[in-house]
Amino acid sequence: MVTPLQVFHRSARAISAREFEDALHSICRPRFPPAFSPRHRHIGCAISGGVDSMALAFLFHRLKQEKTLNASVSPNEQFRVGDNILGKVRAVIVDHGLREGSDEEAQKVAHAIKTKIGDMVDPTIETINWESELGPGVDPKTHPSIEPLARKLRYAAIAGVCLRHNICSLFTGHHEDDQYETILMRMISGRGYRGLQGIPNAVDIPECYDIHNVYQSGYLDDQESTSPFWTRMPTGKRMKKYLKYSLRDQLDPQTLQYEIAYGMRSDGSQYFNEYQRTHRKWGDYPPVPEVDAEDGGIMIYRPLLGFGKDRLIATCEENGIPWFEDHTNADPTFTPRNAIRYLVKHHQLPNALQKPAILQLAARCRARVAAEEAEAGRVLERLYVHDLATTAGTVEAEMPRFRLPGGPRLSRRSSVWRKRRLVHYRTIAAIVIRRLLSLVTPNHNLPTLADLDYSVALLFPELRLPDEKEIPTLQGEPKGYMISGVHLDPLIQPNGSVRWRLSRAPYQAKTPAPTLRLSQSALASRFLKEPSEWAWAGWTKWKLWDGRYWIRLRHRVPCPVRVAPFEAVYQKDFREGLLLGQKVKHKELLASMLKAYAPGRIRYTLPAVYAETDLSGFIQGNESYWPQPPEHLRRAAAGIAEDDHSTPTPETVTTKQLQKHLTKEQIHELLWFYKEWEDEQAASFRDYDEVWEESRYLSNPSTTSPQSHKNQRKLLALPTLGLSLPGIYDWVQCEVRYRKIDGDLLRRGTSWQRFKFWRTRDAGFSLRRRETLLERREWLGLKRREMVGEVPVSVADAFRSD
């Protein structure tokens, strides 16, 4: 046998389909491992026309050809991207319109994809509308921060395509050279080892934080649909067998013995014996189910980060795929990246700054960060999360303790070693604090580890540096502290331990409060109809309120409806409206629920639904909404002839009379009469936004607002607590969801309990929510029987549907 000679290829070789498949498998891991999906799902590719994006589109086309899906292959054996079977590839081309001829270039790119790549990749061109963003007649090139704005609009345009085609996996063509240039730029700006990790290969889509079903949301809508993409039903014998053994491993011997000894109730309440000890106890108020937490969204994957640009060029040249170069990339004065690209191409850098050394540096930085995150995960196993209340956005936790390890070695007793270990433990503690802040903070960007030095010294006294021990605010008992929109409040326990409550920080009086506004229903849908006959407006899109809650509304009332923070000035009227003036002790229901679920100033961060006018009169049917029309229209509606002056004019007429006897011209006149009347009603109050800001005494919420402000707004509901005025659910409806939470932190932080009280997507959470709703009905039923009908049903029938 002759040994083949080694051949050193001096030119780059094309990327094979197997290499590309391995790169996909390494980064596109299942997002919801317990879920299965037998359905195909489209994926998206961001195409700029460069060699990287064109090579990406071609590699997907060739992969689809080699992995042709046929009926003989079971769904579990087909090629998957994340959780779903690979479907059609949607190439998204964004025409930014900032360069002359960009529209023609986008058409050429789309034509090249159709003719040179194949029909398995379908191109779509999206054009950025600068007029809607900057206003008519404004040149976007003159904008002072055009690059970040263009990046935001580009991602928004891509997200719109993904929403239309139900895409949750988006691929970009970032390659190894882009990674190299990015790390060099960060080194120049002085970034630390965490910033030198480079471009991540999988991340949530940026710049789309307030778009539902795009950024970390949409999972609940998928589960509520008739044919969800993610399902827990196994799709084959292998999956059923795997599910069987996994469920067997999760069996609790004590629970099994309990079921054998006492039997199993159909409502699943035997699982809640231990959970009830960790949950709030209620007596004078009903239990409140937690707000569902969102998940899902669009993920961005970068499978070409392990391939150089030369291999992408070889791939396109070998297969005859054209690409289009942007001439602005060759201008070193245009962007810092262009300057670095020019420097690398035309100058010889030291070996330590060349691509192999920089990529090795990034790999070491990623390994160091991964080791720190893994150690922080082990520390979270000793974290005691006592309660997470999505109803108010609070979490109570007891921090783990750190202890510097000792030993016989002399190096462990040296001051240098102890200082180094202390700095390392402070980094781990900062990671733990930042993950806790992510549960509550309204900000999208979490603070850096360096910004958490004071928080580490406050929450972990054993990790304080020598100079921090002299800080006056760290002396004595721990004190409250605010960071990143989160208020950390110490709760001293009887045994001397400290439990920290993390909640949304109170709103500042000088900053605008988070507000969602829904305009009044159209007059045409209410014209010549009684209030009970008014049609519902459609649900609004899900909006992110205060960075914490996804909220959507619908109503059929003749005034704008608004979601804003709860204010104390409306508490009295709302309390009286809840129970319709019942006994004094039962009027404390609102106070009891606020004390239990949103104590102190936390209640003033709850979302509340307001109406701009008082709706209690016509909602309860006590008075008619429409004013009587003018005299000549009343006579016409009563069927009185114009020349009949002997018959007196009726004081009132009904809508049926108006519909029956008025002519088209008179109906049109009546429509304008009602429109002017509603405009006068709205103009009788001052501008609502100005009044809102003036009446916000959030620095002192107990301060009484002027009487004019009280007459202008009406508190309708506290949707997260399940409280609303009687009958308001027939006129205004609201749905609330909490944003995505760190499930891994909660699983680790509640591992001290035999039954974890929070799991976002397992059967236990659904059973517990169902049990809470049953207990809520039982509480209301018992109270109604005890008080002989003094508590109305509307206290329970709030905005949340069962």
Residue-level pLDDT at 544: 95
Residue pair 607/546 in contact by the 8 Å Cβ criterion = yes
686 falls within a domain: no
Q: Which 3-state string (H, E, C) describes 719-766? A: HHHCEECCCHHHCEEEEEEECCCCHHHHHHHCCCCCCCCCCCCCHHHH
- Angle 241-246-248 from CA coordinates, rounded to 5°: 95
Residues 308 and 424 in one domain: no
User: 170 and 74, same structural domain?
Assistant: yes
> What is the pTM assigned to this prediction?
0.84
Q: Is the dihedral of CA 227, 228, 229, 234 positive or negative?
A: negative
The torsion region of residue 731 among left (phi > 0), alpha (psi -120 to 50) and beta comes to alpha
> Would you call 381 helix, strand, or coil by DSSP?
coil
Q: Residue 80: in which H helix or E strand, if any?
A: strand 80-81
C-alpha–C-alpha distance, residues 605 and 563, integer Å = 12
How many C-beta atoms lie closer than 10 Å to residue 423's C-beta? 11
CA 156/CA 353 separation, integer angstroms:
36
Tell me if 81 is assigned to some domain: yes
* Residues in the chain, overall count: 802
DSSP string, 4-40: PPP----S--PPPHHHHHHHHHHH---SSTT-B--SE
Give me the domain span that covers residue 183. Answer: 17-228+297-324
Indicate whether 317 and 425 sit together in one domain.
no
Residue 81 CA, distance from chain mean position: 23
- Asked if residue 399 belongs to a domain, the reply is yes
Confirm whether 361 is domain-assigned: no
My answer on whether 247 and 216 are in the same domain is no
Residues 6+ apart with CB under 8 A from 308: 12, 175, 176, 177
Q: Are residues 44 and 82 in the same domain?
A: yes
Three-state secondary-structure class, residue 792: coil
In-domain check, residue 66: yes
Position 45 scores a pLDDT of 94
**Residue 307, pLDDT score:** 94
Beta carbons of 737 and 799 less than 8 angstroms apart: no
| C-alpha distances in Å from residue 82, one per residue of 57, 455, 632 | 18, 37, 70
My answer on whether 308 and 401 are in the same domain is no
User: What residues are paired with 732 via a beta bridge?
Assistant: 555
Q: At what angle do helices 355-380 and 176-188 cross, to 10 degrees?
A: 80
Residues 260 and 177 in one domain: no
Q: Is residue 404 part of a domain?
A: yes
* Residues 192 and 315 reside in one and the same domain: yes
Q: Packing angle between helix 51-66 and helix 309-319, nearest 10 degrees?
A: 60
Q: How many domains does the chain have?
A: 3
In a domain, 657, yes or no: no
* 254/206 same-domain check: no
Interatomic CA distance for residues 350 and 341, integer angstroms: 15
Largest CA distance in the chain: 125
Amino acid (1-letter code) at residue 629 = P
How many CA within 13 A on the CB side of residue 766?
5
Q: Do residue 157 and residue 246 come from a single domain?
A: no
Among 486, 504, 522, which residue terminates a domain? 504
Q: Do 174 and 224 fall within a single domain?
A: yes
Same-domain status, 72 and 146: yes
Between the alpha carbon of residue 84 and those of residues 198, 231, 617, the distances in Å are 28, 11, 53
Give the span between the Cα atoms of 249 and 246, in whole angstroms.
Answer: 5
* Residues 608 and 565 sit within 8 Å (Cβ to Cβ): yes
What are the structure tokens assigned to 623, written together?
Answer: 């008075």
The torsion angles phi and psi of 515, rounded to 5 degrees, stand at -145, 140
Question: What is the distance between the alpha carbons of residues 73 and 376, in angstroms, rounded to a whole number?
Answer: 42
DSSP 8-class letter at 115: I
Distance (Å, whole) CA 401 – CA 411: 23
Other CB atoms closer than 10 Å to residue 72's CB: what's the count? 6
Distance between CA atoms of 546 and 552, rounded to whole angstroms?
13
Q: Strand, helix or coil at 552?
A: strand
Q: What is the mean pLDDT of each run of 10 residues along the chain (802 residues)?
A: 48 88 90 74 92 94 74 58 83 88 89 88 90 82 84 92 93 94 92 93 93 93 84 66 68 68 51 40 69 92 94 93 85 86 89 93 95 93 89 92 69 74 93 95 92 93 86 85 93 90 89 87 82 85 94 89 91 80 58 88 94 76 76 82 78 82 85 84 56 46 44 83 86 93 84 44 44 57 40 36 36
Examine residue 332 and state whether it is found in any structural domain, yes or no. Answer: no
Contacts of 223 (CB under 8 A, 6+ apart): 230
Say how many C-beta atoms besides its own lie within 10 A of residue 276's C-beta: 14
Does residue 309 contact residue 175 with C-beta atoms inside 8 Å? yes
At residue 411, the pLDDT reads 59
